[in-house]
Homo-oligomer: A and B are copies of this chain.
Amino acid sequence: MNPERQLIEGIRRASSKTRNPALIRGIGDDCAVLRVPAGSDLLVTTDMCVEDVHFRREWHPAKSVGHRCLARGLSDIAAMGGEPLACFLSLALPPKLPQRWVNDFMAGLLRLARQYKTPLSGGDTSSAGKITADIIVLGTVPAGEALLRSKARPGDRIYVTGELGGSAATLKRLYSGKKILPSAGDRHFYPMPRLEVGRWLRKNKLATAMIDISDGLSVDLAHICEESKIDGVLKLQTLPMAEMADLNLALHGGDDYELLFTAPRSAIVPRKIAGLPITEIGEIRPRTARKGTVSTIDPAGRLKPLRPAGWEHFGTS
């Protein structure tokens, strides 16, 4: 049996432990066959993780790489208010990669898949120079109820879950040469998708627009502003900052996978949803002719344009 075939068989055995009644036929045919529940819309997201761009083997344990890979996709489902249905993995691996690395990567990915009942239902394998993993997550949402980026309206308030900048703070320490032992609760190594909050907001029809913070608050708020054709104003003093994070990391650091959403001014948004703190951090205003769509406002009411400065990947070496 060749190594690719061996990998596929291993994945098939491991993934058969996670079941979802919607999955009629998983790994082992030309396509997976799924039955999307009646009255549901289908959500689809793909996210690519490339070695030395999204992770480094010397910094990130294989289990963390596998976990982060699926967490990114699940976070996109959360940002639509959706329920995960199934995932697919295309995996390109260097021929000399130790089998142990692959086993740990799969263990990290499949543990999160089990936790959120998201069976690994297919994919592809290839050889490559650098580890490249493309994760595809399918989800469902009641028809017409997906929370889009494009429905924020002037007067809406801006909210965020949890704390910001924590993942970037850890990354900054890694860059500075610090050795970090990744613990299971570390948001950089083991981010948890905010599926419960996304579901709650969708069911309670509280949010007008939503996105997950993967690129950084400034960039992701700008996405909502572009798609909704409005401006966003952030009150800096209200930003919930993670331990070790500073304002810069909270504004521009990526990979927090918190949810950023808007709700009408009149909406009563709880201080906690599914156990997670919710913080009001700004408001939506009508689109102006100013360059840029995101500003900060100081306690005196003075606006200052904020240049969206995204998450910097490591760059290819």
CA distance A52 to B128 in the complex (A): 9
Q: Mark A30-42, 1 if CB is under 8 A from B, else 0.
A: 1111111010011
Whether, in the assembled complex, A149 has its beta carbon less than 8 Å from a beta carbon of chain B, the answer is yes
Taken residue by residue from 293 to 316, chain A's Cβ proximity to chain B (1 for < 8 Å, 0 otherwise) reads as: 000000000000000001001011
Interface digits, A274-298 against B, CB 8 Å rule (1 contact, 0 not)?
Answer: 0000000000000000000000000
Residue among B28, B43, B125, B126 making CB contact with A31, cutoff 8 Å: B43
**Contact: B127 with A30, CB < 8 Å?**
no
Stretch of A73-81, A160-168, A199-207, A242-250 at the chain-chain interface: A73-81
Contact A92 B143 (CB under 8 A): no
> CB-CB < 8 A to A149: which residues of B?
28-30
A130 to B132, CA, bound (A): 10
Q: Which residues of B contact A313 (CB under 8 A)?
A: 126-127
Tell me, in angstroms, the Cα distance from A149 to B33 when the chains sit together. Answer: 12
Q: Which of B54, B79, B94 contacts A126 (CB 8 A)?
A: B54
Complexed CA–CA distance, A91 and B91 (Å) = 13
Does A211 touch B at the CB level, under 8 Å?
yes
A48 contacts the other chain (CB 8 A) = yes
The docked-state distance in angstroms from the alpha carbon of A146 to that of B146 is: 28
- In the assembled complex, the Cα of A229 lies from the Cα of B171 at a distance in Å of 51
Give the total of A residues in contact with B, Cβ under 8 Å.
66
Interface contact A130-B128, CB-CB below 8 Å: yes
CB-defined contacts of A155 to chain B, threshold 8 Å: none
- Which among B30, B41, B53 is the interface contact of A34 at CB below 8 angstroms? B41
Q: Tell whether, in the assembled complex, residue B33 and residue A146 are in contact, meaning their CB atoms are under 8 Å apart.
A: yes
Closest to A79 in B: B30
In the complex, chain B residues whose CB is within 8 Å of the CB of A91: 48
Main secondary structure of the interface of A (DSSP, over half): strand
Q: Is A256 interfacial (CB-CB < 8 Å)?
A: no
Q: Is A25 a contact of B148 with CB atoms below 8 Å? A: yes
CA distance A89 to B134 in the complex (A): 10
Which stretch from A104-112, A116-124, A180-188, A263-271 is at the chain B interface?
A116-124
Supposing A31-B82, A33-B80, A42-B36 touch, asked if A48 and B316 sit within 8 A by C-beta, the answer is: no
B-chain residues with CB within 8 Å of residue A42 when the two chains form the complex:
33-36, 42
- A residues within 8 Å of B by Cβ? 2, 24-25, 28-36, 38, 41-48, 50, 53-54, 76-77, 79-80, 82, 86, 88-92, 94-95, 121-130, 132, 134, 136, 138-139, 141, 143, 146, 148-150, 210-212, 227, 310, 313, 315-316
Enumerate the 6 nearest inter-chain pairs by beta-carbon distance, A residue then B residue, closest first.
A30-B79, A31-B43, A134-B134, A30-B76, A48-B90, A31-B45
